[in-house]
Amino acid sequence: MPEYPRLLHTVLDTTRPRELAEFYRELLGLRYRAGDEPPGEGPDDADWLVLVDAADRPVLAFQLVDRLEPTTWPSHEVPMQLHLDFTVSTSHELEHQRHRAQALGARVLLDRTGEPDEPLYVFADLSGHPFCIVVR
């Protein structure tokens, strides 16, 4: 049987790795991998951070870059390039997660909660990366 590459994690470029890692840690209930100390427990000038799930599987990584031009989506001057999709089970939970995401600093880019087949929000994270939360 052939071996295929497996996705290790998704890496997001950012000018503020710790802030963006904290945003996704709080939003998704993840934790730092061993050696990537939480804020206040180690240096906060990290240029690479990884978040893992409860089984220690890598989920997201954050890489320091000098400059990042956030997408202008839905306008196409600066394309989306990549986005993350997350699911919730109900419209009530979607609204709960919208409030959580905004409290953590996300901006709503698109409100499509009126769609009966697939209600969703498109957000921009702290670095401008788009992500969706959709009812599935």
Q: Are residues 89 and 119 in the same domain?
A: yes
Burial class (CB in 10 A: 0-12, 13-18, 19+), 22: buried
**DSSP for residue 65:** -
Q: Is the pLDDT of residue 54 over 80?
A: yes
Q: Are residues 93 and 127 in the same domain?
A: yes
CB-based contact 20:34 (threshold 8 Å): no
Whether 2 maps to a domain, the answer reads no
Query: What is the average pLDDT value for the chain, to the nearest integer?
Result: 91
The stretch 131-136 carries a mean pLDDT of: 92
Whether 79 maps to a domain, the answer reads no
The stretch 104-122 carries a mean pLDDT of: 95
Residue 35's pLDDT is 85
Give the chain's domain count: 2
Whether 52 maps to a domain, the answer reads yes
Residue 43's pLDDT is 56
The stretch 68-92 carries a mean pLDDT of: 90
12 CB-side CA count, 13 A: 32
Residue 36's pLDDT is 86
Q: What is the domain range of residue 46?
A: 10-64
Q: Which residue has the higher pLDDT, 9 or 38?
A: 9
Q: Are residues 60 and 88 in the same domain?
A: no
Whether 17 maps to a domain, the answer reads yes
CB-based contact 135:119 (threshold 8 Å): yes
Q: Are residues 130 and 90 in the same domain?
A: yes
Q: Are residues 53 and 92 in the same domain?
A: no
Long-range CB contacts (< 8 A, 24+ apart) of 75-80?
Answer: 80/130
Confidence of residue 44 (pLDDT cuts 50, 70, 90): low
pTM listed for this prediction: 0.83
Q: Are residues 59 and 91 in the same domain?
A: no
| Domain of residue 43, CATH code | 3.30.720.120
Of 4-8, 46-50, 128-132, which gets the smallest average pLDDT? 4-8
Whether 73 maps to a domain, the answer reads no
Of 2-6, 12-16, 115-119, which gets the smallest average pLDDT? 2-6
Whether 74 maps to a domain, the answer reads no
Angstrom distance (rounded) from CA 61 to CA 49: 5
Whether 5 maps to a domain, the answer reads no
Whether 127 maps to a domain, the answer reads yes
| Domain of residue 128, CATH code | 3.10.180.10
SS3 22: helix
Alpha carbon distances (Å) from 75 to 34, 70, 109: 40, 12, 11
